[in-house]
Structure 1
Amino acid sequence: MSSEVIYGLHAVEKFIKQSPQSVYSIRFVKGRLNGRQQALFDQAKALGLSPQFVAKTEFKGFDEVNHQGVLAEVAKQADLTESDLQELVENTANPLVIFLDEVQDPHNLGAILRTADAVGVTAVVIPKHNSVGMNATVRKVASGAADNVKLIVVSNLVRTIKQLQSSGMWMIGLAGETDLTIYDQDLTGSIGIVMGAEGSGLRRLTKEACDHLAAIPMVGVVESLNVSVATGIAVYEAFRQRSR
């Protein structure tokens, strides 16, 4: 099985707690460990892993602040696909799914996964091409949510949206060119929140596939919000409506 690298104290802590059997190796920068690093070292040993001390040069390519002196090589999990998504939706009452239309920045995907975990989103869906996928940066930013939220990789986003619409899911696309806001939408049933890419927003075909378009009210001079911020606003409105 292929492997991937995860880094940062929180991401590694979460992973080895949830899936110790999937850890190939865990490495610390050689030197004195701080309290949290020591706790992780002890946790790894207690789980039967064999943490190693290595030269700082082995961490080259990872930002020093972000890696926090620890890396783990872990088994790369197979991508979840369209069939997994269909099964999830069919077996979840009032599913809430986030669709990301070619989001490129791993920091945005990581932040979206973190928010999705916080509000109990059923799944986050990304296209196979022209989109950032799971990587070490996504895992670090997600702070453990990457292994708790279902990330589904599909071949064709628009086709997947239409398939789920035929199963009764309503698709709400976030876009600026509408007078309706996210607060005007009923987000209590089977709902898909469809978000566009950084800068370009929703592609034309994706936008046309949505049942409704909704905007986030803005009164300042900026024209748009960061996609992870906008996603957070939308899914928390869904969470608010579903909690009443």
Structure 2
Amino acid sequence: MRRSRPPGSVPPSRSRPEPAPRESRAPAGEARELRLYGLNAVRAVFARRPEAIRKLYLTEARIPALQPLLKWCVAHRVGYRVVEEQDLQRLAASAHHEGVVADVLREEPQPLSAWLRDLPEGPSLALWLDGVGNPHNFGAILRSAAHFGVAAVLLPKHSTLALSGAAARVAEGGAEAVPLVRLGRSDNALAQLRGAGFALAATVVEGGADLFRTPLPERLVYVLGAEGEGMDRDFAAACDLRLSIPGTGAVESLNVAAATAVLLAQWARSR
């Protein structure tokens, strides 16, 4: 017996899924398309910039939850495919696809000057990622940044960090909520940020002022160092503040993503 579908539902389109587009982490060679997976990551793109969606793959079980997106795909002639669980796992190169994969146009980071030009007056917080590279940490940082209303994530000129499918899934939609900004030379970026009223706070494992006892400026950039190595010492010395998160000493330090959540919460509390 043929199964009926709810009124107004979109019938599935089936065909063999295509292989993933190549994705480079180098800024100069970033692929134009990005393969996203995870329900909240895909929904966030659909909510903010649906025109970026190029192709959609989903399991049959996800059809009811994604009806608005499927109808949009039909109306705008964007291809979608209903596929099996193992196909999605292959497409996402992950078992954590949550029943949906989408190929979307990558949103390029904006220049620092453009971001500063459009930034409203008043309190503002940004993150400068000095060597953070793990995509799961990057995704967790974006999730916390979206939760606490961070105005931007700043990427150094030669940083190889770029949004990946894994980072976007961990961010749970946060990747669409927080702009990425590409910096120029560090000394120029420091001057531009200070000219816009920002202070820069280096986050260090030890030797910094107690985060919970230090007044935090209204316009602040937290500078976060690489996992393991921490911040470059000369760069830390060039910042206006050096902050540490006090603890019991039972462990050497917090993971960079966990530390970011603590730092952001303290700035938000001080406002």
TM bracket (short chain): 0.7 to 0.9
Give the structure with higher Rg (CA): 2
* Residue of structure 2 in register with 1:71 after alignment: 101
Is the Cα–Cα contact under 8 Å of residues 158 and 209 in structure 1 kept in the other structure? no
Is the Cα–Cα contact under 8 Å of residues 27 and 70 in structure 1 kept in the other structure? yes
The percentage of aligned residue pairs carrying the same residue is 28
Does the alignment pair 1:107 with 2:132?
Answer: no
* Residue of structure 1 in register with 2:69 after alignment: 44
Shift of the alpha carbon at 1:157? Answer: 4.0
Of 228, 232, 235, the residue aligned with 1:203 is 232
Does the alignment pair 1:218 with 2:247?
Answer: yes
* Residue of structure 2 in register with 1:16 after alignment: 46
* Residue of structure 2 in register with 1:176 after alignment: 205
Distance in 2 separating the partners of 1:222 and 1:54: 45
Shift of the alpha carbon at 1:234? Answer: 0.7
Distance in 2 separating the partners of 1:133 and 1:88: 23
Shift of the alpha carbon at 1:231? Answer: 0.9
Paired AA for residue 172 in structure 2: S
**3-state DSSP class of the match of 1:14?**
helix
Is the Cα–Cα contact under 8 Å of residues 35 and 92 in structure 2 kept in the other structure? no
Distance in 2 separating the partners of 1:4 and 1:46: 22
Is the Cα–Cα contact under 8 Å of residues 204 and 231 in structure 2 kept in the other structure? yes
Of 147, 151, 163, the residue aligned with 1:134 is 163
Paired AA for residue 111 in structure 1: A
TM-score (norm 2): 0.80
Distance in 1 separating the partners of 2:109 and 2:224: 21
Distance in 1 separating the partners of 2:44 and 2:191: 35
TM-score (norm 1): 0.88
Of 82, 104, 107, the residue aligned with 1:53 is 82
Gaps of at least 5 residues in structure 1 are: none
Distance in 2 separating the partners of 1:156 and 1:143: 31
Q: Larger % of helix: which? A: 1
Shift of the alpha carbon at 1:60? Answer: 1.8
Give the number of aligned pairs: 236
Shift of the alpha carbon at 1:179? Answer: 5.3
Is the Cα–Cα contact under 8 Å of residues 110 and 141 in structure 1 kept in the other structure? yes
Shift of the alpha carbon at 1:235? Answer: 1.0
Distance in 2 separating the partners of 1:58 and 1:117: 27
Paired AA for residue 225 in structure 1: L
Is the Cα–Cα contact under 8 Å of residues 146 and 177 in structure 2 kept in the other structure? yes
